[in-house]
Structure 1
Amino acid sequence: MSTSTSSQPLVHPAGSSRLLWTVLATVAVLSLLTYLVAFDQGAVSRSGMYLHELMHDGRHLLGVPCH
């Protein structure tokens, strides 16, 4: 009885590193956007009321209590 074991190398996709960084960047941007819409309450929008009102409407759209 002969046992043959074929040792196949592990295959890693060529773009796995780029995919990882893309996913991390997407999660970071979405986390920042979630903070701005849900929890900011105008602290970042010092340039005017336009950004504050936009985020305020976003809170209402997502159902986050704001007042």
Structure 2
Amino acid sequence: MSQLNPTAVPQVAPVAIPVRQLAPWALFAALLAVVVTYFVGAEQGAFSLLSGTDVHEWVHDGRHLLGFPCH
């Protein structure tokens, strides 16, 4: 009967992700962050893109959470 070594742990090497594959996703995430920050922080103000108060009401608590004044 063979004995197994219970302390042997297989080594897993991290896989390198090329910057060329990561760059489009990083750009998309940055653009999405800018759009979300705009709608939470500046919409319904001097640079309003949409009329009415619907956007303001949807992001009202997020504005306060992130420190943007709204009233």
TM-score (norm 1): 0.61
Root-mean-square deviation (CA, aligned residues, Å) is: 2.2
- Paired residues, what number? 54
User: As a proportion of its length, which structure holds more helix?
Assistant: 1
Q: Which runs of 4 or more aligned residues in structure 1 lie more than 6 Å from their structure 2 counterparts after TM superposition?
A: none
1:1-67 equivalent positions in 2, closer than 5 A: 15-41=18-44, 43-46=48-51, 49-67=53-71
The structure whose RCO (Cα within 8 Å, separation 6+) is larger is 1
Structure 1 regions of 5+ residues with no counterpart? Answer: 1-12
State the AA in 2 paired with 1:66. Answer: C
Q: Does structure 1 retain, via aligned residues, the 8 Å contact 2:44–2:56?
A: yes
Structure 2 regions of 5+ residues with no counterpart? Answer: 1-15
